Amino acid sequence: MFIGLSDIGYKIFNLAYRDFINGGQFLQELEKKYDCEFISTNTYFKDSGKLFTQPYIIKTLKSQKKSGTLHFKKIKVGTVGLCDEYGLLFSKQLKEPMLESKSPLDELQKIIEKVSKKSDIVVLLFNGNYKLFKSVMEQVKGIDVAVMGGQYYMVTPNETYNAIVVTTPSMGKYGGILTLELDKNKKIVSHSTQQIPLKEDMKDDPEIVKLVEEFEQAEKKLQDSQIYSTE
């Protein structure tokens, strides 16, 4: 998954519990190899107590508009990662000697405050239980946009929070677009959302097609070797 998304331009990934199935060392190697950045506020090394990965990333985005009036040409966006399923974070089938997970709310408010001081817009990437997500939205101040994964289907349109909340419904069958309108002080004054259905008649990206084919070939090879080994 990380490989494919990295190929089409995704750079920041909020780690969820399923991502740790192959262990922390595997993730570190993956991050370096494919030039992607992982974030998580509540995953730590057991021996040192230090964070396994950075809790947030701040990027400066430049305007792509060639003409017309602009309030500003650059904006700083801070992205914070949070996975609340710390009880399930590591696979029960895999002994993970290097990592542990802690309650996600312990340091979240402090991190958001730190990011807010350095950023114009703060985005929270959240994966997990809706009940905790709701508590975060009601209690933690300073979040401008929250992208909800995990129990995303629990989010309803009539809910109102201080932050803009978006999800991508129906198991990835739609691509979500969020458009923000900012004033001259880089504050959000309005927003709109759009869900684009991913239809079968859409043209496939050649690099992704190649990646899928390589995966299927490797999977077939693995299955064949397992068959022969049991005979």
Pairing of β 164-166 and β 174-182: unpaired
> How many domains does the chain fold into?
1
Is 15 inside any structural domain?
yes
Which residue in 136, 87, 133, 76 sits closest to 107, CA to CA? 136
Among 87-101, 180-194, 203-217, the range scoring the smallest mean pLDDT is 87-101
Is 208 inside any structural domain?
no
Is 221 inside any structural domain?
no
pLDDT mean over 1-15: 64
Is 230 inside any structural domain?
no
Which residue in 81, 79, 80, 70 sits closest to 186, CA to CA? 70
Report for 4-13, 21-30, 94-103, 107-116: range of highest mean pLDDT: 107-116
Is 103 inside any structural domain?
yes
Expressed as residue numbers, the domain containing 124 is 2-201
Element (H, E) at 161: none
pLDDT digits (tens, 9 = 90+) for 11-26: 788 887 777 777 778 8
Among 41-55, 132-146, 157-171, the range scoring the smallest mean pLDDT is 157-171
Is 166 inside any structural domain?
yes
Is 69 inside any structural domain?
yes
Is 215 inside any structural domain?
no
Phi, psi (degrees; rounded to nearest 5) at 210: -60, -40
pLDDT digits (tens, 9 = 90+) for 58-92: 999 888 766 566 778 899 999 999 887 655 555 55
Which CATH number covers residue 132?
3.60.21.10
